[in-house]
Chain A
Amino acid sequence: GENVEQHPSTLSVQEGDSAVIKCTYSDSASNYFPWYKQELGKRPQLIIDIRSNVGEKKDQRIAVTLNKTAKHFSLHITETQPEDSAVYFCAASRDTGRRALTFGSGTRLQVQP
C-alpha cells in the first residue's frame, strides 16, 4: 500500500518568513495530493490540493509543488502569520474522493510573532 513520509515534524519560523513542508510517497499510482491544516481541537481542514497532471498550484500565500518523477510534493507558505500556527498533514490517494487518503505524520508549525 501507499506510504507517505513527511518532514520536518516540527517547524518554527518568525512571522513574515516562509515555511516549507515536504512529503514523499511510495505508490506511483497515486495521483491526488491534498494538504490539511488542523488547529488544536478541530477537524482537519483542506487548504490546498494538487493533482498529478499539474506541477504547481498557488492560492494566495500557499503553494504546492509536485515532482512525480521523484515522488515528492511540498507545501510552501509565504509571509507566515501567527494564525498559520497549526499541524499540517500531507496525504496521497489514487483517485481524489473515490479512495481513502494515506496521511503523512504531520508537521507542527509554530509562527513566532
Chain B
Amino acid sequence: SAVISQKPSRDICQRGTSLTIQCQVDSQVTMMFWYRQQPGQSLTLIATANQGSEATYESGFVIDKFPISRPNLTFSTLTVSNMSPEDSSIYLCSIGAVTDTQYFGPGTRLTVL
C-alpha cells in the first residue's frame, strides 16, 4: 500500500491563529479525505478532496473554517482557520482508490490554547 505522511505531527497553537496541515502520498491517488478525531472520540469526515475540483464538505464543516487544497494527485493540505480550543483534535488524511480500501496518514495532533 501507499506510504502516507503528514506534517506537522503535532502542534500547539494560540486561539485565533491558523494552521496548515500537509498530507503527502508516495503514489498518485484519486481520492483523498480529511477526518477529525476529537479526544476519545470516533473519526468524523471533514471533506473529500479530489484533484482539480473543489473539496466537498460534510455537514457542519465549511470552507472558510477548513480550506482544503489538492494541487496534484499526491498532495493535499487542510487549514484550520481562526482556531479555538474546540478545534483541538487529531486531524487525519486518508487515501482511497477504485478497488482498494482506505488507509490513513499518521495524523496531526493539534492543541489550541
A contact patch SS: mixed
Which residues of chain B have C-beta atoms less than 8 A from A45's C-beta? 104
Inter-chain CA distance A100–B96, complex, in Å, is: 8
Which of A1, A46, A96, A100 is packed against the most chain B CB atoms within 10 Å? A100
Q: Are A98 and B96 in contact (CB under 8 A)?
A: yes
Which residues of chain A have C-beta atoms less than 8 A from B42's C-beta? 89, 103-106
Q: Are A97 and B48 in contact (CB under 8 A)?
A: no
Name the CB-closest residue of B to A49.
Answer: B101
Q: Does any Cβ of A come within 8 Å of B67's Cβ?
A: no
Partner of A46, one of B31, B98, B103: B103
Which residues of chain A have C-beta atoms less than 8 A from B64's C-beta? none
The verdict on A46 contacting B45 (CB below 8 Å), with A96-B96, A98-B31 known, is: no
**Size of A's binding interface in residues, CB under 8 A:** 22
Against B, the Cβ 8 Å flags (1 = close, 0 = not) of A49-70 are: 1000000000000000000000
Minimum CB–CB distance from B24 to chain A (whole Å) comes to 15
Q: Does any Cβ of B come within 8 Å of A102's Cβ?
A: yes
Which residues of chain A have C-beta atoms less than 8 A from B59's C-beta? 1
Minimum CB–CB distance from B27 to chain A (whole Å) comes to 13
Q: Are B33 and A98 in contact (CB under 8 A)?
A: no
Which residues of chain A have C-beta atoms less than 8 A from B104's C-beta? 36, 43-45
Inter-chain CA distance A36–B107, complex, in Å, is: 15
Instruction: Please report A residues at the B interface, Cβ cutoff 8 Å.
Output: 1, 32, 34, 36, 42-46, 49, 89, 96-106
28 cross-chain CB contacts under 8 A: A1-B59, A32-B101, A34-B101, A43-B92, A43-B105, A43-B106, A45-B104, A46-B101, A46-B102, A49-B101, A89-B43, A96-B96, A96-B100, A96-B101, A97-B97, A97-B100, A97-B101, A98-B31, A98-B96, A98-B98, A99-B31, A100-B48, A100-B58, A101-B33, A101-B102, A102-B45, A103-B44, A106-B42
